[in-house]
Structure 1
Amino acid sequence: MDNAELDALLTPDALRLLDELDPVVTVGDVAHTVSRLRAAGHSPALVSAVVGQVRLRDKAEAKFPGFARRMLFTRAGLEQATRMSVSAHHAARFRQAGLRRVADLGSGIGGDSLAFAALGLGVLAVDADEITAALAAYNLSPFRQDGGGVEVRSGRAEETDLAGIDGVWLDPARRTTGHSETRRVTADDYSPRLDWAYELAERIPVGMKLSPAHDRDTIPDGWEAQWITVDGSTVELVLWSGTLAREGVTRSALVIRGDTVAELTAARDTEDEPVRPLGAFVHEPEGAVIRSRLVGDVARLLDAGPVADGIAYLTGDTEITSPFARSFRVRETLPADQKKLQKALRERGIGVLEIKKRGVDVDPAAFRKKLKLQGDKSAVLFLTRIGGARTAILADRLS
């Protein structure tokens, strides 16, 4: 979004039109809506801005249920925004620590600031990008109009006057050039730099949102590191300092599934259980549990152990489920060779197959295509290594 599009959008006519439009989902919907609005005499800039916002609002409903229809977005801002289900936990941490006024540095479109304000906290939202800050101001306007102590500024985090601020929420921008899914994210990948944030935390309590792939070996002593998984996706790592960090906790895994919330905490990485032979059940720990290195605690909860060294699948013979892992009942092991596996799956009438893999170099989508599945039955297939050999495990989902 550029300044011209922002100016076109932030007018009474554009905002009224935005609220009146039906959802625009398909390419045909877009073409029809654009043609109708242009025929009604609206300018190209206004039509582009309004139709773009309608589409973004539809996508935003998953992150901002109940709020998206009255918010404004940029595509990048929506992608980077924290889910409301997660930002509520961030806000609760500040409130429980007794902090009354929070500076949200790198506020983006204001997702976390919304949660802070909703809990009655005073908020100073700051973003370096003027357009993003303008959208945050709009999104936070109900709290600003109600005299809720909410202020929005455009500026650099490092230059923000923190007088009267009790705690800082920091969401550093992450540089994406050269990144891959497997590459560790280091302190040099953020702006502002993390060494500035660590120095800031010596003066004021700080909560800081980082990539879940952040190099955990660079986390300073004295911080609580909390990895968060939402509906199967590990979305972020949060570092907490000062009064925001819980006493005796340096590692935690927060798991959110729908309306269910569960958390594991520990003073340090926990010891893994010994490897076990494949049993009647396989358990897949949530990503937050794996990244926080608390798999051993989950294994003990499930009376299970890893299928192999360095493989984060657990196995056992006790039928137990946990919010910290997905559980499956083992049917049988099958040949891992593609042609033999294809034959075995056809014999069993399996046409719908969820493929999971660890410790093997396989693209699940491409591999599924090669299997040329036929049938009306469904199953889960684990591709992994057990005892140094590639192994295929056919299973049914329990949780």
Structure 2
Amino acid sequence: MFEHLLSDPAKAFREEVRDLVKWVPRQMILDMDQDRIQFPRAFLEEAGRRNLMGCRYPKQWGGRDMDWVTTAMAMEEVGTLGYIFACVFGVGAELVCDAIIRHGTDDQKERYVKPLLRGELFAAECLTEPRGGSDFFGTTTTAVEDGDHFLLNGQKRFIVGAQGADFFLVYAKTASDRKPHESLTCFIVDRDTGVQTEYLYGLMGCRGGGAGRIVFRDVRVPRANVVGTVNGAYAVFNTMMIPERLGTAAMTIGAARPALDVATRYSSRRKAFGATINTFQGVSFQVAEAAMLLDAARAMVYATCTAVDRGEPPGTTRRLISETKKFVTESCQQVAHNAMQVMGGIGYTNVFPVERIVRDLRLASIWTGTNEVMSMIIANEWYRTHAGQASDTGARNWEMDADQAEAVDEKIYE
């Protein structure tokens, strides 16, 4: 952990989060991985009771007025329990809360945010549909006005928390005659209004988080539950991408940390050829690479959190967040791979938790926007920013720092 980047209040908060991590029974972790627990309600209730969720939101609505650096630290610590713990912790307390805090009404904050952060209600965010996930604005879920209500029809799938959520943050098309970015509306949908959910078994990892399919058939949603404005979900989606992708990066570090710790302990004790295997470069160099990747990942997360806290321009933060999500998730998957490689065959069994960590972390580069989508955003923002810098007459033109730079006849672009 980068102590020099944490304020004293952040360090004190970290100890509170670590106490929660210690509180979680070993059997809960095992039961979730075996699908004996389909949704960790007790964990979220305890986190809410301790006032640990949504720490960066105003105290007025149940938060603790902290910053993004502190939030990232907390997400990392929760992630050490297992990737799915951080997933369910963040979906409600970071993603859904963020949308309502930033775009919702005071009445919505009172009815949904406060009890959610107290651990009395649970929420899920509904983005992915059976027809696809990355094409968010191509959603086929619809909401048609019906007096003071909307009639919601459609399906969402792979929704973390679907099994246990009391309400859902749902995006639906409300204007078929408008451009995709101007045709969606964000709604708060209560489960008891006729929402149908089905728990999905057979996930490779990240089990026990209540992931499921959600079906809406003429579900009546009051106009008072529109988050933001009708046809204005683009603004909600844009701000939610910050906690969704930055939070994912932070928690991925936490989920990978135990793999390195277990591999380090194992290689310090396991003997072969008359010596502990950490004395062999083939082993120690893999541990060194894993430690380096975790440090680089954490540095990137904290630097990006600082940029968000300081209000850097949206284009800059969008690129940094996408870079961070891609780099950190891929780096942490490599950390888990190295840990298993160091441990050999025993790492491939359930005698150690490394095999579960490898399975769980495979989700990291897929959800909250695939890493291919992250690359697309990075490229778009980079070229856009570069074009703006090219018009800055005060910048040095490095292209001219070559001996034959004036050979214009050799610079052929078409």
Q: Per the shorter chain, which TM-score range?
A: under 0.3
Tell me the TM-score normalised to structure 1 length.
0.23
Structure showing greater radius of gyration is 1
Higher relative contact order (CA 8 A, sep 6+): 2
